[in-house]
Structure 1
Amino acid sequence: MLIRSILPVCLALASVGTVTASDGWFASYEEAKAAADSQGLPLLLHFHASYCGPCRQMKAQVFSQSQVQQQLGEGIAAVEVDVVERSDLAQQYGASTVPRDIVVYPGQAPQTLNVGFKSTLAYLSLLQNVASTGRKFSRPEAVVKMSTPQEQILGLEGFCPVRLVRDREWISGRRELTAEHRGITYHFSGEAEREAFLKDPPHFSPRNLGCDPVVLFNEQKATIGQIAYGVFFDDQLFLFDSAENRSEFKTNPLKYTRVRHAVRVDELTQKSLN
Structure 2
Amino acid sequence: MSQATIGQLSGHHNSFRRTATWAAILLVTILTNVPQADCAELDSVFRSDFKAALAEAEEKKLPLLIHFYADWCMPCKRMDREVFSATDVKDLLQTRFIATKVNSDQQQDLVRRYGVETLPSDVIVDSQSGRVLALHAGFQDRNGYVANISKAEAKFTRAHAGETLVLKSTPAAVEAKGASSTSSGGIELGEPKPIIGLAGFSPVAIAKNRQWNRGSPKFAWDYKEVTYYLCSREELVEFRNDPEAFAPKLLGCDPVILWESDKAVAGDIKYAAFFDDELFLFKSEERRRQFKANPEKYIRLQHALKVDQIDQTVVR
- TM-score (structure 1 length as normaliser): 0.49
- TM-score (structure 2 length as normaliser): 0.42
From the CA coordinates, give the structure whose radius of gyration is larger: 2
Q: Select the structure with the greater relative contact order (CA < 8 A; seq sep ≥ 6).
A: 1
